[in-house]
Each structure stands twice: as structure tokens, then as C-alpha cells.
Amino acid sequence: MTENVTPTPVAVASDPASAPIPPRQTARGGMDLTSGPITKTLIVFALPTLASNVLQTLSGSVNSIWVGQFLGNSALAATANANIIMFLMFATFFGFGMAATVLIGQAIGRGDVDAARRAAGGAIGLALLFSLVIAVTGWFASDAILRLLETPVEAFTLAHDYLRVTFIAVPASMLMVTLSMASRGAGDAITPLRFMILTVVLDIVLNPVLILGVGPIPALGIAGSALATAVAGTISLLGMIAWFYAKKHVLCLRGAELAYLAPSWPELRFIIGRGLPMGAQMLVISGAGLVMVGLVNREGLVTAAAYGATLQLWNYVQMPALAVGAAVSAMVAQNIGAGRWDRVSTITNSGISVNLAMTAVLIVLLLLFDRAALTLFLGSDSPAIDVSRHIQLIATWGFLPFGVTIVLIGTLRANGSVVPPLIILFLSSFPIRLGLYYLSYPWLGGDAIWWSFLVSMLASMAMAFAVYKRGNWRRTLPQPAG
């Protein structure tokens, strides 16, 4: 392997047949995303990812129900504060995983299995190193982080206990996420779904056991909820690795290929060079989430608890966008690798249409049945229920433009265009959202948080469309030399 990056010839959408299409190898049990009806293929490929997201969110929701019912609103507010921090931790690595996924998708598309394995190995090695650093650092920095968030004093101790145990689970969780991303990049969305089912079942069963204690198992309170998640994730990770090797998955590393876990400089340079802006995108999103939590906490414990419950419901509303966006990104990457530029725009348009339809249905259902759902998290007599319903009525519609933005960014990202999406997300999340909040707070009060959220989502969609239509992203990105 040479120590340089060799650019591939530029290909544009108007020249789809510029090169012959090589034979392709997909993951065992995976899909060839470069042929067949686009909308049907997109939906079939996105459904396992959507199901995984549903299950993961369901697990979090059930855990929140346990916490809210057994430990009260202060504990629920504590988990909301801790969970946004964990999202921030994962966001810092997300870009590296996505850069590797782009490499994997394009390599599978052009039939280069060895390149796909090199990219997967590099991502896994980086994930292991990065997650260990985060776990150790987070353990010792928990108090300082919670103070920066202005965590309510009533929830501080609970949040501290929950967060510290959660940091212990970071290595297993991050490796699981990395393996799942790599598998989907190779066209296999079924394997991640199998082990998400295992994770959810274990997590739901272990949560009440460890929170309340059963027999010789002591009652651990909120720390028990975090420990249940850690145990479930570790067992599922070990099971997924064993499954990969038992089924001879296309991304399995054997013998000399295990050296790919220590990425060579070409792969490392590509993953870092493309991954840093992608990771920065997630940092911007999570940073905006942290700011939201800080602003919400200033409104008091009732609003903080209401927002924690609202986030649980919003997790479901945003799932179609995340699943369809991931499917679009994988499909576009494989089609670019195969030289099928003629399919890229249709994939993107189909992704937008499918996402809008699915998200609209979820929003309507949520607004119709939100009181019953909120009672599960907050209890039937909580004053936070009416606050949460008010939040949803204003802001939930923002997930329609959010979904469009995610699909457009997924297309750009699939071909290595990572800086424009970063700029878009930064502008919409900070200057626009915070500017609107501070300007309107004097006459809207706390509602300024929710209206600024909605308007910022519309702004990000408009900017993403402008980049997609006029940008120069339609070029084949340079690949690490093999």
C-alpha cells in the first residue's frame, strides 16, 4: 500500500456511463443497492434501520417510564441532562464512522472488498481508542459537565450517579454503533436489527431489576438504570461479533487483515480529513441540544421534566428522517462507487417523499394521543403534562423540514461533501436559533425556545436545498490508495 491518496477521475451526474460497472460483492444477507426500483429498494433497506431506531427509542422510553414512575420527576430530569451529554460524546466520533461508511459503501459499489475491510477495520480501531479515552475522561469530569448545563439542584446528584455509570458503557456502545454503521454501508441492515432486538429486550428486563432490586440483587436506584443499559450493550456487542464470524460477513477481518484495526496513514488521513467536518456537524447538533437544555433548565424543574418527556416522544418523530437519511446515504455511496450517477437524484427525491409522508403521519398521531403517552413518563397528575403538550404543539412541526435536511445532507455526505452541511447546521443552530430566542424572549417568554427551534429547522432546509441544487458536490471524491 502506498503512502498517498490518488484522486479518481471526476464524474458528474450528466455523464452516468463514464466508466464500466465492475462486479460487486455485498454483505452476506445484504442488498445490492445499485440496481432495481429505487423507491422500493430504499424503503426495504430503510425499514430495518427504522425498526432498529424504534427499538432503541422504545428501550429508552421504557427506561424513562421506570425512572419516572419509581424515582420521580427529578430523576427523569436527571436522565435528560445525562443523555444529551452522551449524545455529545457519540457525536464527537460520529464523523469518523460516517467517513468510513462512505468508503465502505463506495468500495462495495465498485466491488473492492479489501478496501471495504480496510475502512471498517480503521473505524473499529479508532472507535475503541476514542471510547476508552471518553470513558475515563467522562468519569472524572461528570460534576463539571453537569454544572455547565446548570442542572437543577434537585436533579444534580441523581444525574451525577446516572452519568458516571453511563460513561462506563461508552466503549461497548460506541463499538456497537460503529459495527452497525459499517454493516449498513455494506448493504446489510438486518444484522444490526437482530442485535438491537437483543439489546432492547435485555435493557427493558434488567432496568426494573437493578433499579428496585430483586432477591440478592441490591436496589441501585438511577445507577441501576444506567448499569442495565451497559450490561445489555456489552452482551449484544459480543453476540454481534460472534455472528459476523459465524456467518462469514463480508467485513470480517481474518489473519493478516486484523492489522487493519490499526489504520494505515492513507485510511487514517481520509477518515480524519472527511470525518472531522462530519463529526463537527454532530457536535453542532449536540451543542445546540446542550444549549436547549440550559435554556429549558432556566425555566424551572417542571419545564425541565416536561422537556425530558417531550424528547422521548420526539425521538419517535425524528426516526423516519434518520432511517431514510441513512438509507439514502448508503444507496448514494454505492451507486457513486458503481458509476450510477443517473440514479442519485432519484434516490434523493424518493428519500424526501418517503420521509415527509412517514413523519407527517407520526406528528398527527402524536398530537392526537400525546396526553396518554405523556402520562406514562410523568404520571397522570403531573403539571408537566400540559407544559409538554404546549411545547409539542408549537415545535413538533419542525421535524418535517428537519427530515428534508437530513436526506439532502445524507446525499452530500455520501460523496464526501462535508463542509457545506457543517456551515448550514451551525448557522441554523446558533446565529439563527439563539438570535431568534434572545430577540423574542421579552415578549414570548419561554415560548421563544420552541418558536426558535421551528424557524431554525425551516432555515436549515432552505440552505440545504440551495447547496444541493447549486453546489459542486457532484464529483467523485479521492480514495485512499490501495
Which pLDDT value is given to residue 13? 33
Contacts of 164-168 spanning 24+ positions with Cβ under 8 A: 164/138, 164/139, 164/223, 164/226, 165/223, 165/226, 165/227, 165/230, 166/82, 166/86, 166/226, 166/229, 166/230, 167/89, 167/134, 167/135, 167/138, 167/139, 167/142, 168/135, 168/139, 168/230
Sign of CA dihedral 392, 398, 402, 403: positive
Which pLDDT value is given to residue 196? 92
Which pLDDT value is given to residue 30? 59
Which pLDDT value is given to residue 479? 54
Which pLDDT value is given to residue 290? 76
Maximum C-alpha span of the chain: 68
Exposure pattern of 462-479 as b/e (b: 16+ CB <10 Å)? ebbeebbeeeebbbbbeb
- What's the alpha-carbon Rg for the chain, to the nearest Å? 22
Q: Residue 55 and residue 196: Cα distance in Å, rounded?
A: 7
Element (H, E) at 479: strand 479-480
Which pLDDT value is given to residue 18? 32
Side chain identity at residue 191, one-letter code: T
Main-chain phi, psi angles of 348, to 5 degrees: -65, -45
Query: Which residues in the chain come in under a pLDDT of 50?
Result: 1-27, 29
Which pLDDT value is given to residue 480? 56
Which pLDDT value is given to residue 88? 67
Which pLDDT value is given to residue 226? 83
Under 8 Å between Cβ of 55 and 197: yes
Which pLDDT value is given to residue 402? 94
Sign of CA dihedral 226, 227, 230, 235: negative
**Which 8-state DSSP code applies to residue 482?**
-
Q: Residue 305 and residue 309: Cα distance in Å, rounded?
A: 6
**Residue 254: Cβ-neighbour burial (10 angstroms; 0-12, 13-18, 19+):** exposed
